[in-house]
Chain A
Amino acid sequence: MAKKPLIEFTDNGIYCPQGQFYIDPWKPVDDAVITHAHSDHARWGSKRYLAHRLSREVLLYRLGEISLETIEYGEKVYKNGVEISLFPAGHVIGSAQVRVEYKGEVWVISGDYKTEDDGVCAPFEPVRCHHFISESTFGMPVFQWKPQQQLFDDMNNWWRSNAANNVATVVVGYSLGKAQRILQNLDQSIGKVYTHGVIENTNEALRRNGIILNETHRITPETSKEEVRKGIILAPPSSVGTPWMRRFQPYSFGYCSGWMALRGAKRRRAADRGFVLSDHADWNGLISAIDATGCEKVYLTHGYTAPFARYLTEIGFDAHEVHTLFGDDEATNVAPQEEEIVEEVGGTA
């Protein structure tokens, strides 16, 4: 009888039959291991959740009262003899790769990850394994990121010139991850940092979790327009074009996303500035990460799975496409929508 695989791809999500748990399931299950707190990975309705300690407060904020166990990176827990441990994915604060081991067979489920150290979350750590399940959101060679320092220099210069011209600066990015990464890299000497309620709620959850973030000022109906003119406003994608944003006119608005690498996507967004800032690995990052696992087989879950799998096969990997509900087969237009769904879940502002 053929050996049953340690990890299966089922209608509910990625499943470990021996340990009877799922990783980032998209339907309610009994036991869910969560790589990170973004809405397409951490879904509502499961009985028990396991995640990294730094995901705790954000998960509770987003999913409400759930039964949640948290552990540190490298800490081991066992379910029916299967060893589960978490390793830094470098995607957002609290994000983890899930390492699953049983009888000497090791699988690693990457969740979302990036290989550049952003200085805010624990940097990505390659984990040796036999089977690696990797995301491939930006698995095409046209996606090659510049070092973040260069982007933040550009962003700070842009803010400085807006402030000098008495134009408000609005930066749009995902409320968990991008917002904190931007916040920690802004030049505080230029002015104050103002936040949309959704982002500030996430910041507060992270602060409750013991994360030290730079000073922010929540925007309320009382916040005066003149006051924010010299500052910078951090806003979620769902706020673009809303009356909430329009009241800061005149403003210059910058959009932060890996998709900004493409002129077409950038023009569709109609942002004044597009910053190619992503919390996902770029083409070279993906290949080096996959290579560093030393894996025998790699499974690609979302993004440009088909061409990326073909390329990996050509350069000697045993690569396979897997269909999941994390993203889409071609995610250009899904990424922004997906971000917006998250904002609705967390939306109280």
Chain B
Amino acid sequence: MKAFAQLFLSLDETNKTNEKVKVLKDYLNCVPDSDKMHMLALFTGRKPKRVINATQIRTWANVVTGIPVWLFEESYHIVGDLAETMALLLPQNTVSNSEKTLTDWIAELNTLGKKTEEERKLWLTDAWAILDTQERFVFNKLLTGSFRVGVSQNLVIKALADISGLDAATLTHRIMGNWMPETYSYEQLTQKGDASDDVSRPYPFFLAYPIQETSDKQKSADELKVTLGDAAEWQAEWKWDGIRAQMIKRDGQIFIWSRGEDLATEKFPELHPFLNALPDGTVIDGEILSFRDGAPLPFNILQTRIGRKNISKKILEESPVAVIAYDCLEYNGEDIRYKTQSERRVLLEELQQATPQSEIFRISALINFNSWDELATIRDQSRAMVAEGIMLKRKSATYQVGRRRGDWWKWKIDPLSVDAVMVYAQKGHGRRADLYTDYTFAVWDGDKLVPFAKAYSGLTDAEINKVDYFVKRNTLEKFGPVRTVKPELVFEIGFEGINRSTRHKSGIALRFPRILRWRHDKPKEEADTLENLRRLLGD
């Protein structure tokens, strides 16, 4: 565990990519293989099972610290991270007395499920007593299952590639999907040969790069021509707003993977018949959307299904799904990612034409266009198509790994926007701990301000410092961590979509709200009204 704690500390202490890779390699080189796999699992979002619930951990830690509950809570608001708060508040332990490895600790953790509450408590307090502050911090992270380390998967892969001598694409593929550090060994991960040993394993997703970095700088058709060249070399499709998914049929079994590498097969029973009808050795990339009468429904309809454990009959009726397929990665058992976009498209069309379920297995239609100007005009219809904009794919492109510049671009439409007044503020977490960074915004309804959206991102660090300064001097009331702020600051809030909602006081829900800019020039009286927002609902 010492090495793992040190890894965390060292990663925090540098912003330089090369240095981070070096730190990762130092760690990998000095720990046993089982620890390597545990680290890899944790750093690629494979959280350990939560065996003790967070409230219990927090309560027991509070008891050991001997401070009042409210002070423990206040401390948490300052630190912004529960694992760290507990590590700091527990009695100081400057010497670590434990030689247990990361693997040892996780193994012990996994046996707790069978223990009594009293035994768990004892195990936990004993562990806290022998670990130093930094080890305690990562240990608490294991317990609370929230690992955000500021290291991208790409960096971990790079370090691993350097050490194992395998190329990054192969490794990226091999760590996809469903594996447990307890059963997947470092030797298996780094063996020679291909990665086809697991029938469920998905391919790494190819992700598009935004063609415009910010909404301020619109790309004109002329600029597209300069950047992308001849329009004839490109294929265009609508950019669908659903769940990106990879669908696999191998050895008579089907698997549906979401982009977050969650196995979601059981969440979409409507898709099973068409998948089962596919020939073995087929992998399709596409978007899952709610559909009714042959037309896609807005994302919020699909959202009602996400996160549900049981897909009830009611949900299936209210939010039926279908797939818009746009790529084929495996055909006849062969990995065809090396083929061109156009070649893969032909095979995808072939598969789609053969399906008995063409209402469910749909294909993303190609947009006909002869010039960038023409495409720019077509793009203006995105909202009517329930699309987020346009996808551009180079006809000669292979299917690559991860987000790459060059062959796949997304050309999104401008967000909708309103000017709103900040009314509540709350402290952030992680890098933004102890700073007011999370805001609630309101618009006018007559002479009242009605909260309608929360947004966390979009301001620069310097602006955040200024807003933080304002919040601390203009607090009207405190409700736990939330402060009611004097309504004064006006911000332009951008969002991708707007829908009716019964769960919000304002009666509306926004998709992807974020701060576009601070409107220093606008007094609060000139912020938008709820009526303006309702008009955007389009009725």
Contact = CB atoms under 8 A, between A and B. Distances in A.
A145 B68 CA distance: 21
Interface of B: 12-15, 65, 67-68, 70-71, 74-75, 78-81, 84-85, 88-89, 92, 94, 137, 150, 429-435, 461, 465, 468-469, 472
B433 A265 contact: yes
Interface in A260-297: 261-268, 270-274
Interface of A: 140-144, 146, 150, 261-268, 270-274, 304, 307, 310-311, 314, 328-330, 332-333
20 contacts: A140-B75, A142-B75, A142-B78, A142-B85, A144-B88, A262-B84, A262-B433, A263-B433, A264-B80, A264-B429, A267-B12, A267-B150, A267-B430, A272-B14, A274-B13, A310-B70, A311-B67, A330-B434, A332-B435, A333-B465
Contacts of A143: 88
Contacts of B433: 262-265
Contact of B92 (A144, A272, A274, A332): A144
A104 B444 CA distance: 60
Contacts of A262: 78-79, 84, 433-434
Contacts of B12: 263, 266-267
Contacts, number: 84
B465 to A, nearest CB: 6
A143 B85 CA distance: 10
Contacts of A311: 67-68, 71
Contacts of A261: 88
Nearest to A147: B94
Contacts of A274: 13
Contacts of A142: 75, 78-79, 85, 88-89
A251 B345 CA distance: 52
A273 B13 contact: yes
Q: Give the one of A143, A263, A273 with max B CB within 10 A.
A: A263
Which 10 residue pairs across A and B have the least CB separation, nearest first? A264-B433, A142-B88, A267-B431, A332-B434, A307-B74, A142-B75, A270-B15, A264-B80, A272-B13, A264-B431
B529 to A, nearest CB: 34
A314 B68 contact: yes
Contact of B81 (A264, A273, A314): A264
A341 to B, nearest CB: 14
A102 to B, nearest CB: 35
Contacts of B432: 264, 268
Given A141-B75, A142-B78, A146-B94, 11 more contacts: A141-B71, A146-B92, A263-B84, A264-B80, A264-B432, A311-B67, A311-B68, A311-B71, A332-B78, A333-B435, A333-B468
A333 B71 CA distance: 21
Q: Give the one of B12, B15, B94, B468 with max A CB within 10 A.
A: B12
B428 to A, nearest CB: 8
A333 B469 CA distance: 9
Q: Give the one of B13, B14, B65 with max A CB within 10 A.
A: B13
Contacts of B431: 264, 267-268
Given A264-B434, A266-B12, A311-B71, A330 B472 contact: yes
B67 A140 contact: no
B465 A140 contact: no
Contact of A263 (B65, B81, B94): B81
Given A330-B472, A333-B468, A141 B435 contact: no
Nearest to A261: B88
B192 to A, nearest CB: 35
Given A140-B78, A314-B68, A150 B92 contact: no
Contacts of A146: 92, 94
Given A264-B433, A265-B433, A267-B12, A150 B94 contact: yes
Contacts of B67: 141, 311
Contacts of B89: 141-142
A243 B67 CA distance: 46
Contacts of A273: 13
A132 to B, nearest CB: 21
Contacts of A141: 65, 67, 71, 75, 88-89
B88 A329 contact: no
Contacts of B429: 264
Contacts of A263: 12, 79, 81, 84, 137, 430, 433
A328 B472 contact: yes
B420 to A, nearest CB: 25
Nearest to A272: B13
A256 to B, nearest CB: 14
Nearest to B431: A267
A273 B67 CA distance: 30
Contacts of B81: 263-264
B247 to A, nearest CB: 39
Contacts of A265: 433-434
Contacts of A332: 78, 434-435
Q: Give the one of A142, A271, A311, A333 with max B CB within 10 A.
A: A142
Q: Give the one of B65, B75, B465 with max A CB within 10 A.
A: B75
A332 B435 CA distance: 8
Contacts of B13: 271-274
A313 to B, nearest CB: 11
Contacts of A268: 431-432, 461
A161 to B, nearest CB: 13
A192 B536 CA distance: 67
Contacts of B137: 263
A111 to B, nearest CB: 23
Nearest to B19: A272
B180 to A, nearest CB: 29
Nearest to A337: B465
Contacts of B84: 262-263
B434 A307 contact: no
A267 B432 CA distance: 9
A263 B431 CA distance: 7
Contacts of B430: 263-264, 267
Contacts of A304: 78
A171 to B, nearest CB: 14
A330 B481 CA distance: 14
A314 B15 CA distance: 43
A21 B67 CA distance: 40
A104 to B, nearest CB: 36
Contacts of A270: 15
